[in-house]
Amino acid sequence: MSAQDSPTVETSTTAPQTSPTSTQETNRAFKSWALENSLKRYGADKWGGEFLGVNTAGHLAFRAPGLPEVDLHKLALVLRERGINTPIVVRFPSMIVQSMKRLHDAFIKAANEANFAGEHVGMYPLKVNQRRSVVETVVAAREQCSYGLEAGSKPELLLAMAQPVIPGKPLICNGFKDREFMRLAFHAAELGHEVVVVLESVREVRRYLEVGQEQDWQATPLVGARAKLYSRGSGKWQSSGGELAKFGLTTNEILEAIRQLEAAGLVDKFALLHFHIGSQITQIKRIKTAVREGVRIWAALRPRCSGLRYIDLGGGIGIDYDG
Residue 2 has what pLDDT? 35
Q: Which of 4-18, 43-57, 177-191 is the least confident region?
A: 4-18
Higher pLDDT, 247 or 184: 184
Q: Summarize pLDDT for 120-168 with one digit per residue, the tens.
A: 899 999 999 999 999 999 999 987 888 999 999 999 999 999 999 988 8
Residue 17 has pLDDT above 70, yes or no: no
Residue 304 has what pLDDT? 94
Residue 9 has pLDDT above 50, yes or no: no
Residue 58 has pLDDT above 90, yes or no: no
Residue 35 has pLDDT above 60, yes or no: yes
Residue 6 has what pLDDT? 30
Residue 79 has pLDDT above 50, yes or no: yes
Residue 201 has pLDDT above 80, yes or no: yes
Ordered by where they begin, the domains of the chain are 29-90 (no CATH), 170-314 (3.20.20.10)
Residue 321 has pLDDT above 60, yes or no: no
Pairing of strands 52-54, 122-125: unpaired
Q: What percent of the chain has pLDDT over 70?
A: 82
**If you average pLDDT over every residue of the chain, what do you get?**
83
Residue 237 has what pLDDT? 47
39 to 30, 177, 237: CA distances (angstroms):
14, 50, 36
Q: Summarize pLDDT for 202-252 with one digit per residue, the tens.
A: 899 999 999 999 988 888 999 999 999 876 555 554 555 555 456 789 999
Residue 1 has what pLDDT? 38
The residue-averaged pLDDT of 101-105 equals 92
Q: Which among 88, 168, 71 is positioned nearest to 120, based on CA atoms?
A: 168
Residue 67 has what pLDDT? 86
Residue 285 has what pLDDT? 86
**pLDDT class for 75, splitting at 50, 70, 90?**
very high
Higher pLDDT, 300 or 64: 300
Residue 10 has what pLDDT? 30
